[in-house]
Amino acid sequence: MPRPLIVCCLSAIAVVSAAAPAPITPWTEWPVLSVPADSPADVTLRPAVVWRLDCGAEAETVVGRIVAAAPGLAGRTLLVDNQLTNVLVIGPKGEIERTVGQPGEGPGDLPGAWRAFQLDDGRIGVAEGAPAFGILYGGAGKIILLDEAGDPAGRWWAAGDTGTRPISAVRELRCAGNVVLTATMRGEMAPGSFTSVLEMSLLHQPDGARELIARLLNEDKMSSRKINEGDYYEPFAGGRCDLSAKGQVAFAPDRDRWFVVVREPDGTGRALSREWPAIPRTPAARAEIITVLGGGDGCEALPDHPALGRIRWRPNGNLWVEPMGVEPAPGAFACFDEFTPAGELLHRVQLVLPGDPAQDMLAIMEDGRFVLLRGFRPTADEDETTAPQTEVILLAAG
């Protein structure tokens, strides 16, 4: 897994570009719909367990660290193993059917495993990548496609041409039919500065033709040795973008205001805006961000939570938006505000799952099913000699 971003390391990297490209922000011209600040009601959703997969020491198949899940064909589930650099294909009843991919640099080998998807023709795509604030030196945003037998079946570039000294990483990846949405970070070096180029693109079947739909820039003047969270914040990362079955893209382009953009397949769009108070972080939450930034006196975390968390389309066409920093109801794992396709606020969904949000990770897959990853979250004080109990739970709403 990549190390946290440390600015002082960047000065040793050769210049790869003389100038960063221009931003692409079409939503600034789109109509804005104001939505109420308060949710009219709370509803409780308790998805049923479909299967459980024990990934502990006694498991029949060795499992490393699962970091993501995606829907496969015919009710299957893809689990991305970042540590062993492969993908587990799980059958509808929870059985491990096979693993796909292996680490390496040869044809069909995987340079990394961060996100995955499966196209309608059966090909499985596996992308290298890293979470926000992490930099992949030499990363090229490469997506390797494998056929049903695990043989090479294509190669796509999530971030486009990254040059001869690439610094690029996939942050998010969502698939609907034969279209893939990617959120990427690409580094551009110039004398005295480093610019993070944050892009969203649609990759189209059959060869991954790239349609760039948004671009934001974060520029760091390397004369400063401070690492401020606000200078490196990536609004499309952290689950803050999604692709619907109809080809709509929803995303949150700003950190500190409640503002959700919906782009239609024809390139038009609209935005939802909401009055939303700043929600202060606890000292522990700020300390966690400082650790992610690299730790030390030179790292500065912002005092408030981002306004928005995850954004997810539901199978019925409605949109879930997570109010960042809001405590779910007692007993709930997470909560989301649900909107109709027209932008009407319906209610707040209290999502009840058999896990602990402080320890477990939640993946909301493109087909609406939920995957709970238990015991895979890395911790600073993790004892490498004692593996935690690990389990994957698939759940589905009734």
DSSP sequence for 293-357: HT-STTEE--SB--SEEEEEE-TTS-EEEEETTPPPPTT-SEEEEEE-TT--EEEEEEE--SS-T
Give me the percent of the chain exceeding a pLDDT of 90. Answer: 72
pLDDT band at 384 (very low <50, low <70, confident <90, very high): very low
Contacts of 45 by beta carbon, 8 Å cutoff, 6+ apart = 349, 350, 351, 352, 397
DSSP 242-262: EE-TTS-EEE---SSSEEEEE
Residue 389's pLDDT is what?
78
Q: Among 268, 227, 272, 228, which Cα is nearest to 254's?
A: 272
CB 169 within 8 A of CB 2: yes
What is the C-alpha separation between 53 and 171, in angstroms, rounded?
Answer: 26
Q: What is the pTM of this model?
A: 0.91
Q: Which is higher by pLDDT, 161 or 124? A: 124
Half-sphere exposure of 19 (CA within 13 A, CB side): 3
Residue 283: partners with Cβ closer than 8 Å, 6 or more residues away: none
Mean pLDDT check: name the lowest of 63-67, 319-323, 382-386.
382-386
pLDDT value of position 59: 63
Q: Which helix (H) or strand (E) holds 229?
A: helix 229-232
Token pair recorded at residue 277: 């108070």
What is d(CA 194, CA 385) in angstroms, rounded to the nearest whole number? 38
